[in-house]
Structure 1
């Protein structure tokens, strides 16, 4: 089975709740998506609202993958740069695949769908993302064509005495 991806779906209450559940479940499974476990939906909700507000103002786009049961199984936000000297690349944020789908290749599928989407946006030449060091994510993104272009040591504090590198990755689209 594979996921069905939709760019810019209508944000219904069901979709919003599905993304909230996904984000909470990914975070509680140890996923590096802006939180550390344990986290509740109430803690995640303000960040989701911020992302959805960015969709409303046109600064970001949402890519959603639904599984065969119609449940939200994967997401990524593609965020445009507002700085006039950086509008030729975009950010990929909150790249998530539900833990129940780990190991099925859906992460690669999500990144490929994000790349296809980015190629449809006028003037976009690259995708940039950051990931938390210490989890092997840079190897995963590297295997999907992204190159490590920078690293800020100990920039992410996940707990006292547990600092991780902020790894900057780039996928040129040219």
Structure 2
């Protein structure tokens, strides 16, 4: 399936609804994007609105992927680091690819579009993200050029007896 990636799209009601639906679909398929299944788009909406507010305030950017029908099938948010000594890198959050596209190259293309969008921000030299241990995300990000630079054992609690590492990944933009 062909996916077109667009940095900094206009925020429309269709885009908001599309991201909410994608976020719920990814979460319900077991994706490590901040929710545990089952989750409905209405539960995701407050988190999305926080991201959109950061965009409106100039603190975040969005890369969105759409299929040939215009349906939102991939996203990643890039957030400026507000710490005065760390403004040379961006956080990457809420990286999502629709479950029907996983394993078909859309994720790697999304991460390439994220890096390209970051390169357009003056002074940015690197990207940082975190991922959940045991989710399969670390090998994916490594295949995209990121390297593991830190790990907090057991920092993420999925259930009373299920703790996962919080893994920090880094990409030099070069």
TM-score, scaled relative to structure 2: 0.98
Question: Which residue pairs with 1:161 in the alignment?
Answer: 161
- CA offset at residue 68 of structure 1? 1.3
1:103-118 to structure 2, matched below 5 A, reads: 103-118=103-118
Unaligned stretches of 5+ residues in structure 2: none
1:22 equivalent to 2:8? Answer: no
Please give the alpha-carbon distance, in whole angstroms, between the structure 2 residues aligned to 1:148 and 1:2. Answer: 30
Q: Secondary structure at the match of 1:109?
A: helix
Unaligned stretches of 5+ residues in structure 1: none
1:151 equivalent to 2:151? Answer: yes
Runs (4+) off by over 2 Å = none
Deviations 1:68-90 (A, max 9, x none): 11100100000000111000000
The answer to whether the 8 Å contact 2:20/2:42 transfers is no
Please give the alpha-carbon distance, in whole angstroms, between the structure 2 residues aligned to 1:19 and 1:158. Answer: 23
Please give the alpha-carbon distance, in whole angstroms, between the structure 2 residues aligned to 1:117 and 1:10. Answer: 15
Q: Secondary structure at the match of 1:63?
A: strand
Please give the alpha-carbon distance, in whole angstroms, between the structure 2 residues aligned to 1:105 and 1:163. Answer: 29
- CA offset at residue 111 of structure 1? 0.2
Please give the alpha-carbon distance, in whole angstroms, between the structure 2 residues aligned to 1:150 and 1:123. Answer: 24
Question: Which residue pairs with 2:135 in the alignment?
Answer: 135
- CA offset at residue 45 of structure 1? 0.8
1:39-118 to structure 2, matched below 5 A, reads: 39-118=39-118
Please give the alpha-carbon distance, in whole angstroms, between the structure 2 residues aligned to 1:159 and 1:56. Answer: 35
Please give the alpha-carbon distance, in whole angstroms, between the structure 2 residues aligned to 1:173 and 1:132. Answer: 23
Please give the alpha-carbon distance, in whole angstroms, between the structure 1 residues aligned to 2:158 and 2:125. Answer: 32
The number of residues matched between the two structures is: 174
- CA offset at residue 2 of structure 1? 2.4
